[in-house]
Chain A
Amino acid sequence: MNTADVEIVLIEDNPADIELTLDALKKKNLANKVKVLTDGEEALDYLFNSCGLTADRAGCPFLIMLDLKLPKVSGLEVLEKIRSDERTKFIPVVVLTSSEEEKDRVESYNLGVNSYIVKPVQFDTFANVVSEIGFYWVFLNKPPY
């Protein structure tokens, strides 16, 4: 997939969650524009390589879905790096996690997350939430560039 076609970057290491997320996004016809990255380091490499400082930020995704528990570089560190780099600081990031811990929530907002969603255990709810998020940020939201 050409990086210019990628609309959503999903940073998630659990294969089952990846599949369920993609299933949900399929409902909104977003699934074939998703780049899946399974660890924090790989995710940062990808983002900094594909996201240029051009006026229209060609190559930047419309949305990053970020799990917090990731191998190598944690989700919170990924968020911090994204927010502190000129190329990526405006990309909307939605944390999608199993963690209801207050410190994760507070820290995510401190680092400038756009939304914090606790993954529902119920499949229907989970599928709805994921597809709604995808739809909202990709089709409805207007980025600054």
Chain B
Amino acid sequence: MKNSEFNDRAYLDAFMRTAQYLASLTTHEDVWNHIAELMVKFYGADSAGFARQLETSEIEFHNLRPSDRSCRAFPESPEILESVREVLQTGFLAWRTLTVFEEPYTVVLLPIVVGSETASAMLVGHVTAGPISREILNVYLAVAGLAGTTVNKLLSEAELKEHRAHLEKLVSERTRELTRTNERLELEITQHIKAEQEIKRLNEELNKNIIGLEEANKELESFSYSASHDLRAPLRAIIGFARKILDEKGASFDSETNRKFGIIQENAQRMGQLIDDLLRLSRLGRTGLNRSKLSMEGLVQEVLAEIRSADSEREFKAEIDELPAAYGDRAMIRQVLFNLLANAVKFSRGKQDARIEVGNIKSPGEQVYYVRDNGAGFNMKYYNKLFGVFQRLVSESQFEGTGVGLAIVQRIVQRHGGRVWAEGEIDKGATFYFTISPKEQE
């Protein structure tokens, strides 16, 4: 095929083969590699190759064909270099006729557009003084266009492939991660379910215990109920019938028989008192607390007045400090103060200058109140028996009492969330302390 003669069929044939060939390529490097080859083989060019601008703005020639011929002179030719820059810059084709060889040599430079920019210039050389016919130039332009499109397509495909691979990698990584997370979650869920089952089991157990406790409580209630009823009726009979005998036959009794009857009655009454105290103690556990703000000073004054009026002949001195208000059940706290003050009065009986002190100690988060007397006191050795039910540290003949008073004090204070303790010394006196919250709680 000679450049001067344009043969439609031959060029069409060459172009079709070029297109087929390009369609079979898989990488864009192949395009550069083979196009130069094709230009020489199919289109009768004497040389072909490419030039592109590097990042350093130098022009690099590549894939020059045939390697042993004139195209080796391209890089050295300032005219070619100039045209390459021109084509890359403008995107238009250009040609040059070189005179450095023995025969005139015409080089056509064609823009190869990849995407939106002119990526390269295709150089096609013919041993002719030119000009190259318009038809041939059009075919070359078409080849350059096809090359650009193919490169672009292959680049896109490669990019897409890379993308896909990246995505696949990402997906598989994420999948692995998800699988791991799932496994962990499953494990956690299993553990959670186990924990829930355990909680359920414990709850059921707790409920059973509560039911058991409720039953025990009911039993206790019915016990104290019948205690109040059944234990008092026989006592009433003992006291009543002893009295009847005394009323009917008492006149004929000698003093010894009278004394013995007195003992029967006294003891029966004492037993009545014990039952009443015991019931009061048991009731303390069952009645709800009705809390309000209490003036402790007012309560102490009230209780002392009651104690004084019960035995107006008894003399003692009472010193009451300023007492902070407390938060509690009025009736119950009054009972605490009554029991402690009555004890203080009772156990300081027979003392010269019997003195009772009521005071408070400030400590963080709680109020400590105390009741002190200078009476009989107690031996700290028996401290552990002090707050026990029916525990007495002194004999009945010395000081009367059932031994429930301090147990009641302790029960009430504990129900208010407080503590109670004491200090004492024989014949020097005793101090009873209790704490109670100054503020509303729960």
Contact = CB atoms under 8 A, between A and B. Distances in A.
Interface size class of B (residues with CB under 8 A): 10 to 19
Contact of A69 (B229, B244, B279): B229
B225 A123 contact: no
B228 A123 contact: no
B228 A119 contact: no
Given A121-B269, A122-B269, A124-B243, A17 B229 contact: no
Interface string B269-292: 100100000010000000000000
B244 A23 contact: yes
B279 A100 contact: yes
Q: Size class of A's contact patch?
A: 10 to 19
A99 to B, nearest CB: 5
Nearest to B242: A123
Contact of A99 (B225, B236, B239, B240): B225
Given A98-B233, A99-B228, A99-B229, A16 B279 contact: no
B233 A16 contact: yes
A58 interface: no
A126 B240 contact: yes
B1 interface: no
Contact of B228 (A16, A100, A124): A100
A122 B235 CA distance: 9
A20 interface: yes
A85 interface: no
A99 B228 CA distance: 6
B392 interface: no
A20 B237 contact: yes
Contacts of A23: 244
Contacts of B241: 16, 20
A17 B243 contact: no
B279 A20 contact: no
Interface of B: 225, 228-230, 232-237, 239-241, 243-244, 268-269, 272, 279
Given A16-B233, A98-B233, 13 more contacts: A16-B240, A17-B236, A20-B237, A20-B240, A98-B229, A98-B232, A99-B225, A99-B228, A99-B229, A121-B268, A122-B269, A122-B272, A123-B240
